[in-house]
Structure 1
Amino acid sequence: MQEYKYPYNVSFFRFLRRSSTIAKNPIPFHNQLFKESEGNSFSIKPLFTKHIVMTRDAEMAREILQKKHKHFEKSKLQTHNLGKYIGYGLLTSTGQYWLKQRRLIQPAFHKEKINGLLKIISNTVEEQVSNFPTENLVDLYALMNTLAFEVIAKSLFNFSADKATLSRLQYIIETLQRFIVKEIRQPHKKLWYHLSGQMKSSMAMVKESRDIINTIIEERRASNDFHDDLLDMLLNAKYEDGSSMSNEQLIDEILILFVAGHETTANALTFVLFLLANHKEELGKATEEAKKFHLETLAMQSFTELTYIKQCIEESMRLYPPAWITDRVNLQDESVGDYYFKEGTMIGVSFYEMHRHKDYWEAPESFRPDRFSEENRKRTASFYMPFGAGPRLCIGNNFAMFEMQLVLQSILSKYTIETDKSTIDVNPLITLKPIGAKLKFVKH
């Protein structure tokens, strides 16, 4: 019988002593342990559960997420714990149900389908960007959060929901996310969450969010109007037997699209604009490209004109990947890299650490968009995973990239951007959230 082999072991009591600090921001703790391990992985053995492994090794990540993906599934943290708040859609489901949903929904995100949404996205972006406050430093994330929420809301529902309803939905989703992170990172406080009423309040918000979306679905089903938005696509999607999704399934998928489709984009846009404001040469090149772009000919092929802007976004997502970490649990005893893990081991893959690893990147802390030029991008493909990897690669990756390119083009063609800070803080929630970024927009 093969002996189990785990990477550098970290004392569980050491982890426990620092649990409140780690709960606030685990990234410095991870970074310290990777350095201590003198490798790319470390492990912790809690008292009553199986090993937890953390890795930044690109080859191990590809094994888990791609090559041997059938031997692994998402942990309960990503499925059950998250699903009870935002439903059991593509992000939180596993196994055959996930595969069935992926096959059903995938066509809605093909490039040709997104082509039909480009006008909605573009009009929403133009409306938002044209009304940016100017001449004073403003909270950049708040601005990008509103913009990204408007884009996903219009793309999903077009004209089916009023502003007050969508604002309430936005508030609920953001409030729930903060509570989810607390519950996941500090499970020992679970009893307190129940006794203090936080759990009850959160579940009431879950019901309210589902009721809001259900009302929108029912109104659309009763209507004969065709909006050519994502809701129309989801309503008309058919399984192999000819059946469609139930309202409950639709609500699950729509909630996932709201969470995954607006928060990650808002984060990424905040980071890239902040980085550009701090790198004048790169900002100049991106601005020049933005001014040459013609919205009148908007179509998929026109995005080839925004090559450098795309490189800036990709380099920003290397430094600050919105989905900064993922996990998997092995369904059987499994060899991964140089190790042999017992069935049920939870393996965390830190994209944040992988994207800043000195073995993979030259000057990893520097902002260098040319890393993603046509001649360079093939070299970095095996250790660059901003949208995950393998069959569970983010379904909305094309949608997000086109949206972000349009937003940057719109902003840079209208405004000069400035900031008073050179560094940005992060809050690693479910996604990597920027903290304290302020920007000034000055009209050209």
Structure 2
Amino acid sequence: MTGGDTSTGPDGETDELPPGPDGLPVLGNTHQYLNQPMGFFDELAGYGDVVHCEFPRIDAVAVFHPEQIGEVLLEQGTYERWNFDELKQLLDYEVAPRGLTFTRGEKWKQQRHFLQPMFGLDRLEGFSSAMVSATERLIEGWDDGEEVVINEEFSGLTLSILTNSLFDFDLGEHRQVITEAADELQAMANMSGLSAVEMLLPSWVPTHGNRRYERAMDAFDETVDALIEARRATPGEYDDFLTMMLETEDDHEYTMTDAEVHDHLITFLIAGHETTAMALTFTWLLLATHPDQRDRVSREATAVLDGPPTANDLADLTVTEHVAKEAMRLYPPAGMLFREAVKETTLGGYRVPEGTKLLLPQFTVHTDDRWFDAPEQFRPERFTDARSDGRPEFAYFPFGGGPHQCIGMHFAMMELKHIIPMLARRVEFELLSSPQPETNMWLTLQPSEDVRMRVHKQ
């Protein structure tokens, strides 16, 4: 077990590192993680709430208690987002380095301040029609009795909503390019078995996976550049997220460079649809195996909605909201958050040296029986106000928290509260694949196999 002897300084500070499992020379705990990535964190949780682990060139601490998770997420001067510099140098991989995901410090503050108004409630209300139209097209495109791969269907749906609402364009022939890039990024983040071995090779090694990845990302870069140039050619015709980024010359406080616009577009096109698609996939997987809860959603939709949902209806769709939140508790789309200690500190009574990476595994914390009764069971009612009030704030954090809380949180919840009731009123899904699929911690939390369902229209 790692962790040194306790030594307390004059101010009560400790020199003891957190406990944790023994590792191998150089490799640390890599072999344990690769053997079972998600199960590895269950093992770590057995050592306590603040646990040390090691990987090549990386010292890490996994955090399992809401109090310490809150410290990590809220104390911006002590912890920053880990931007994976060590891995990028080792693997020679870099995706959208100037986008909101990987910038830090003052540059990140400028970007966040500039982009946040696009996700204000006044803007979100205008996206309702795009969400309804895309969902109606999806439902109408299904034949009664058709077998569908629901994770792929929802990925296409959320990508369509994103591009039509935030960017006001129809992807057309560009759709496949973006989908392939998203698939390759997911595969690149797959840290299990042979995929992990290949992933650990630098991008210049001509493996089949590396060549496929480079082709997909080159095509994605070209597509994004084409979309930007097309918008530049039509000044004054649009009032959307992309136009706002391109018209920064009139903003004297902050001007966004062409490279930043390019990287933001990549970031939102990937992250903005994959996480919501996974939330929808697991929500309907759970509803298909819990018909009583599915009936509750359907009854609420009938009682609240006269037609398609509008922004004014969403506050009354409480059952739908509880179902979506419970699905994201059991299957948090992001899976895990990452931070870095930018100065030496203490956490949970243990010393955390500068440069330590902090791992916040939502999929483990969300199923801790200290915070949730019968945590493996699907119980949406646990998110009623009365039951939520007594729960620690960061026992549940699918969108993160603090300054870096997901900028698209309200947009994503709005999508879920439009799509779920529309489907519940018009479609019954018959599950054809496993009711409890294994999951993989990739770029997002993914089912290990496609989720197949048969569509029965109502």
> What is the TM-score with the length of structure 2 in the denominator?
0.87
Show the 5 A alignment for 1:420-439.
Answer: 420=432, 421-436=434-449, 437-439=451-453
Match of 2:398 among 381, 386, 391: 386
CA offset digits 1:17-72 (Å, max 9, x no partner): 9846733741012112323x2x22321245x7453111211111100111x22211
Counterpart Cα distance in 1 of 2:202 and 2:44? 30
Show the 5 A alignment for 1:7-406.
Answer: 7-13=18-24, 16=27, 19=30, 22-23=33-34, 25-35=36-46, 37=47, 39-46=48-55, 49=57, 51-66=59-74, 68-77=75-84, 81=88, 84-159=94-169, 161-181=170-190, 186=197, 189-191=200-202, 194-196=205-207, 198-199=209-210, 201-224=212-235, 226-236=237-247, 241=252, 244-294=255-305, 299-380=310-391, 381-406=393-418
Helix, strand or coil at the partner of 1:90: coil
CA offset digits 1:197-223 (Å, max 9, x no partner): 654653453333122112111111211
Contact 2:437–2:448 (Cα < 8 Å) also in 1: yes
Number of matched pairs: 439
Counterpart Cα distance in 1 of 2:204 and 2:30? 17
- Give 1:102 deviation, angstroms: 0.1
CA offset digits 1:161-220 (Å, max 9, x no partner): 541112212212221331244599558842586243654653453333122112111111
Q: State the match for 2:3 in structure 1.
A: none
Counterpart Cα distance in 2 of 1:14 and 1:411? 53
CA offset digits 1:140-163 (Å, max 9, x no partner): 21111111121112223323x541
1:442 matches 2:436: no
- Paired residue type of 1:407: I
Instruction: Name whichever of 313-322 and 338-347 sits farther off.
Output: 338-347
> What is the TM-score with the length of structure 1 in the denominator?
0.90
Q: CA RMSD in A?
A: 2.8
Helix, strand or coil at the partner of 1:282: helix
- Give 1:137 deviation, angstroms: 4.1
Instruction: Name whichever of 289-298 and 411-420 sits farther off.
Output: 289-298
Relative to structure 1, the CA distance from residue 116 to residue 244 in structure 2 (aligned partners, 3 Å threshold; closer, same or farther) is farther
- Bigger helix share: 1
Q: Which sections of structure 2, spanning at least 5 residues, go unmatched?
A: 1-8
Counterpart Cα distance in 1 of 2:255 and 2:417? 33
- Give 1:133 deviation, angstroms: 4.1
Instruction: Name whichever of 48-57 and 184-193 sits farther off.
Output: 184-193
Helix, strand or coil at the partner of 2:299: helix
Counterpart Cα distance in 1 of 2:208 and 2:161? 34
Q: Which sections of structure 1, spanning at least 5 residues, go unmatched?
A: none
Counterpart Cα distance in 2 of 1:24 and 1:172? 27
